[in-house]
Chains A and B, each alone.
Chain A
């Protein structure tokens, strides 16, 4: 009953955020999806995959190659330009990604090139590109748009609040044992608590960090799994997203570091005085740069590579058609992509687990009490 109501709210919220419509493409050289021209050459497939790996400003579901019509819905664009905050729906770009459609918003000329929004310099009316295909007379703007990734995160967040809120409500009603889907979630929560947080942070202090660890674990996992659906989210493959997650971890362990931790980091006891500043430097670099960097690159690279491999294997269907015929190439592509998909499902969990595990390990290092004398 409650769940149904919540789902209704979710749908209404999604609908209010977006406007569903199909929009005709003017020209789309990046995707190579002009009318009557399907994505069927190696270069087109490559650029299609690259395009998918990037964030998008609209939610693209399907393109009819015959008519060149894209199906999906546009998302709100919110940008901070030289003349302040500008908002409009992404449909204003007409699915253009090459900078040829200029959106004029209160004397601010905006274009979208490779999924990024640029503002044309004063006086310019057309984007000029240099030989490396960088816009010469436009600069990137701060983009707070509800992009596909942000949309995905919002969906994930709402899903989490819904699912775990339900689990929490179940307990509040006095049921000791959860019912229905909550019964699946409870062991996962216990798993994060007993297998990740407790052993790494320690029995005394783990409680304080549970909210962060649980949220991050399920957030990453659900986003990874969403990335495997045909909706084509690639949220955890966005370096900004993984960087943000890693920086949260750093901020948390830096601010919860004990006196012992700082003493050991900055003025390591038990080593010659000459070496201490050197060690402090090494430790600081390790904690501030290397550890978060390893966190963010691991997640980003795994998910991006997974998406790339799965899409490439699906594309085998087209690229191998010429040499093996349609049946063999389709069969091969199907078997291989199915195999990789199964691995990706494992990786989706594994990366969420590793991120949470390492975060709690680093937090554990920072809050550790050295009761033994050095």
Chain B
């Protein structure tokens, strides 16, 4: 202890105090203050960047979810549209078929009616022609038959016999 006290130099103590005080003040002004401020700014910057990244990530996630949803909706819509189209198509085909059928039926009917009319007309004409021909034939036959008296008498006879038969 005595040795320690003897070694204690008040002058050195004083010099040290002055040097340390000046050093603290100088370092504060020229080093610590700018350094600590710069560090603080940098750390704040990093924190902000991290926060922003986190936010962006969240937004990205939201966006992705949105996209997914939209895609799903689009797919669904496409499906329904396709389905509708398919329905419409088959309906149109069915309709067309029905229409065609009825049209064909009508046409067939008309044709049949026309054919029937023609047939009737043809039959009538045939009848007329047959009647005319018969008349002509009958006339010619009569003419020949009646060209002499015998034959006329024979005919009357025959006719009378036929009459009596009836």
Contact = CB atoms under 8 A, between A and B. Distances in A.
B31 A240 contact: no
B60 interface: no
Judged by DSSP, the binding face of B is helix
Given A157-B19, A157-B23, A219-B23, A240 B9 contact: yes
Interface in A60-101: 79-80
A241 B31 contact: no
Contacts of A244: 13, 16-17, 20
B12 interface: yes
Interface in B86-145: none
Contacts, number: 122
B39 interface: yes
B42 A176 contact: yes
A161 B7 CA distance: 30
Interface residues of B, number: 32
B30 A143 contact: no
A172 B34 contact: yes
A74 to B, nearest CB: 17
Judged by DSSP, the binding face of A is helix
A358 interface: no
Interface string A228-253: 00000000001111011101100000
Given A55-B9, A161-B27, A240-B8, A150 B15 contact: yes
A248 B20 contact: yes
24 contacts: A55-B12, A79-B11, A160-B27, A165-B30, A167-B35, A168-B30, A168-B33, A176-B38, A186-B35, A189-B36, A193-B36, A210-B32, A211-B28, A211-B33, A214-B27, A215-B23, A238-B7, A238-B12, A240-B8, A240-B12, A240-B16, A241-B12, A244-B13, A248-B17
Interface of A: 54-55, 79-80, 116, 142-147, 149-150, 153-154, 157, 160-161, 164-165, 167-168, 171-172, 176, 186, 189-190, 193, 207, 210-212, 214-216, 219, 238-241, 243-245, 247-248
